[in-house]
């Protein structure tokens, strides 16, 4: 079974040329785990999460902590001392959740891993320790999984899996770049992590995939007799997350967001993406927080505008990140980039438009630096 291949020996000299752990980082990673850290890890697990193979959810551990804390802490301390874990604790239940009714193949099933609470706590402790070190050793072009960094900062080039795209570049220059880099030329539009990428502004046609995904997810809930409260939870936890990822990258067309809102509204009141009868409550009222007698559903357009406005904050507060360095070369070179950037770069144009909506201005001439300060 399988094939053999020659593997080159590991070259430590190459590793040392990049970012490596300092002695201080090593002390942080090797410091003994405390009982307080164990308690924080267990109590950070949401109460509603499904239990693992042992049948216990985090509710049991939290409510019984004053009784079982000594045994739980001893078990976790033993793992970090010995590096060994009981196979009973290392078991995981894999549950397949259908995305649509009667899924025809495996791609229409979403795997959910149900782990034991002690296993989750150990994983959280390891992640917490690594989170203190990773920002110092991680490359600036790979930060999508580090707290405070964004997926838009990720640039990992692989000549076998990546293409290079040009716009308004002479053929001679393109050939030189492709020859030196080893990349082949790609064509627009294309999709990156499920998001459409093109040379112009995102339009309704490009966003149809988002609408289809929301409708598909609702149909995946099947013909279950869900209550209003259950449908509300699905909107807040499932449907809203579908456009949140897009909203952090693009200024989504208002017509698309209105369509998504209409689909969510229909699902809330009727259980289907289409509904002909009038809703009992205006959707603007549903947007209000529960403290103001609303349902707390997120205003998709306001969220999109706020997410794009956050990129402006990055320009002034994160000058060392790779994304900001790139934008400062294209469209944001001067303090008055709100005028120049709007004309020079399509992505800059989108950001400025988002800021204008955020400030509720009719013209794009305001001192953004003063606003940020």
Task: Encode pLDDT of 77-130 as tens digits.
Answer: 999 999 998 888 888 888 888 877 778 888 888 888 899 999 999 999 999 998
**In the predicted structure, residue 277 carries a pLDDT above the cut 90:** no
Within a domain: 164: no
Task: Encode pLDDT of 158-189 as tens digits.
Answer: 666 678 888 778 888 888 888 887 888 888 77
Please state, for a pLDDT cut of 90, what percent of the chain lies above it. 16
Please state, for a pLDDT cut of 70, what percent of the chain lies above it. 77
Within a domain: 176: no
241 and 335 co-located in one domain:
no
- The pLDDT of 359-363, averaged and rounded, is 44
> What does each C-alpha distance from 214 to 117, 247, 276, 277 come to in angstroms?
32, 14, 19, 20
Task: Encode pLDDT of 305-360 as tens digits.
Answer: 878 777 777 777 777 777 777 766 665 655 555 555 445 555 556 666 665 565 55
- The pLDDT of 225-248, averaged and rounded, is 83
Model pLDDT, residue 145:
57
Task: Encode pLDDT of 35-71 as tens digits.
Answer: 999 999 999 999 888 888 988 999 999 999 999 999 9
Provide the b/e sequence for 61-94 (b: ≥16 CB within 10 Å).
Answer: beeeeeeeeeebbebbeebeeeeeeeeebeeeee
Q: What is the largest CA-CA distance in the chain?
A: 74
Q: How confident is the model at residue 150 (pLDDT cuts 50, 70, 90)?
A: low
51 and 121 co-located in one domain:
yes
- The domain boundary, picked from 110, 134, 158, lies at 134
Model pLDDT, residue 320:
74
Report which of residues 40 and 151 the model is more confident about: 40
> What does each C-alpha distance from 58 to 68, 116, 118, 122 come to in angstroms?
13, 9, 10, 14
- The pLDDT of 261-268, averaged and rounded, is 88
* List of residues 6+ apart from 22 with CB closer than 8 A: 136
Which residue(s) pair with 96 in the sheet? Answer: 111
Provide the b/e sequence for 107-136 (b: ≥16 CB within 10 Å).
Answer: eeeeeeebbbbbbbbbebbeeebeeebbee
Specify the number of domains making up the chain. Answer: 3
Query: How far is Cα 300 from Cα 192, in angstroms, rounded to an integer?
Result: 22
Within a domain: 190: no
Provide the b/e sequence for 145-160 (b: ≥16 CB within 10 Å).
Answer: eeeebbebbbeeeeee
For the chain, what is the mean pLDDT? 78
Q: How confident is the model at residue 273 (pLDDT cuts 50, 70, 90)?
A: confident
- The domain boundary, picked from 99, 134, 169, lies at 134
124 and 216 co-located in one domain:
no
Model pLDDT, residue 332:
60
> What does each C-alpha distance from 5 to 2, 11, 160 come to in angstroms?
10, 18, 19
Query: How far is Cα 299 from Cα 303, in angstroms, rounded to an integer?
Result: 6
44 and 70 co-located in one domain:
yes
DSSP structure class, residue 221: T
- The domain boundary, picked from 298, 328, 352, lies at 298
List the structure tokens of 259.
Answer: 């369509």
Report which of residues 236 and 355 the model is more confident about: 236
278 and 326 co-located in one domain:
no
Query: How far is Cα 259 from Cα 237, in angstroms, rounded to an integer?
Result: 19
Report which of residues 315 and 256 the model is more confident about: 256
Q: Tokens 């070190």 correspond to what residue? A: 133
Within a domain: 360: yes
φ and ψ of 148, to 5 deg: 90, -15
311 and 294 co-located in one domain:
no
Provide the b/e sequence for 302-316 (b: ≥16 CB within 10 Å).
Answer: ebbbebbbebbebbe
Query: How far is Cα 86 from Cα 75, in angstroms, rounded to an integer?
Result: 10
Which residue(s) pair with 197 in the sheet? Answer: 190
Within a domain: 332: yes
241 and 340 co-located in one domain:
no
Which residue in 310, 307, 297 sits closest to 260, CA to CA?
297
Task: Encode pLDDT of 134-144 as tens digits.
Answer: 878 876 666 55
Strand pairing class (163-164; 184-185): parallel
Within a domain: 194: no
279 and 316 co-located in one domain:
no
Q: Tokens 């707390």 correspond to what residue? A: 296
Which pTM was predicted?
0.59
Q: Do the beta carbons of residue 122 and residue 79 sit within 8 Å?
A: yes
- The pLDDT of 291-309, averaged and rounded, is 82
Model pLDDT, residue 372:
41
Peptide bond just before 82 cis, omega within 30 deg: no
30 and 125 co-located in one domain:
yes
274 and 333 co-located in one domain:
no
Model pLDDT, residue 163:
82
Within a domain: 327: yes
272 and 335 co-located in one domain:
no
280 and 312 co-located in one domain:
no
Model pLDDT, residue 186:
83
Query: How far is Cα 283 from Cα 297, in angstroms, rounded to an integer?
Result: 9
Q: At what angle do helices 254-270 and 208-220 cross, to 10 degrees?
A: 10
Domain of 51 in residue numbering reads as: 20-134
Within a domain: 218: yes
Model pLDDT, residue 1:
47
Comparing 153-157, 247-251, 282-286, which segment has the lowest mean pLDDT? 153-157
């Amino acid at each position: 079974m399988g094939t053999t291949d020659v593997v080159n020996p590991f070259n430590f000299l190459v590793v040392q040329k990049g970012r490596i752990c300092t002695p201080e980082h090593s002390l942080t990673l090797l410091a003994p785990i405390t009982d307080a850290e164990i308690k924080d890890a267990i109590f950070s697990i949401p109460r509603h999460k499904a239990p693992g193979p042992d049948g216990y959810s985090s509710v049991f551990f939290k409510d019984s902590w004053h009784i079982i804390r000594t045994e739980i802490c001893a078990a976790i301390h033993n793992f970090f001392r010995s590096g060994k874990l009981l196979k009973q604790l290392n078991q995981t239940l894999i549950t397949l959740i259908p995305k649509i009714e009667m899924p025809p193949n495996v791609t229409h099933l979403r795997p959910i891993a149900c782990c034991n609470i002690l296993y989750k706590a150990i994983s959280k402790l390891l992640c917490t320790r690594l989170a203190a070190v990773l920002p110092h050793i991680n490359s600036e072009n790979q930060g999508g999984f580090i707290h405070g960094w964004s997926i838009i900062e990720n640039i990992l080039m692989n000549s076998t899996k990546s293409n290079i795209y040009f716009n308004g570049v002479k053929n001679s220059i393109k050939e030189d770049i492709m020859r030196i880099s080893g990349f082949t030329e790609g064509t627009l539009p294309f999709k990156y992590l499920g998001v459409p990428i093109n040379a112009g502004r995102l339009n309704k046609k490009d966003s149809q995939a988002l609408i289809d995904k929301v409708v598909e997810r609702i149909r995946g809930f099947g013909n279950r007799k869900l209550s209003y409260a259950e449908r509300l939870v699905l909107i807040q936890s499932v449907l809203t997350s579908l456009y949140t990822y897009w909203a952090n990258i693009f200024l989504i067309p208002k017509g698309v967001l209105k369509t998504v809102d209409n689909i969510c509204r229909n699902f809330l009141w009727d259980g289907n993406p289409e509904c002909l009868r009038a809703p009992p409550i205006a959707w603007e009222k549903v947007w209000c927080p529960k403290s103001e007698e609303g349902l707390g559903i997120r205003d998709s357009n306001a969220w999109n505008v706020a997410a794009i406005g956050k990129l402006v904050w990055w320009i002034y507060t994160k000058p060392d990140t790779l994304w900001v360095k790139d934008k400062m070369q294209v469209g944001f070179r001067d303090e008055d980039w709100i005028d120049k950037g709007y004309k020079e770069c399509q992505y800059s144009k989108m950001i400025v438009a988002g800021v204008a909506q955020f400030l509720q201005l009719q013209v794009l001439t305001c001192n953004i630096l003063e606003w940020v300060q």
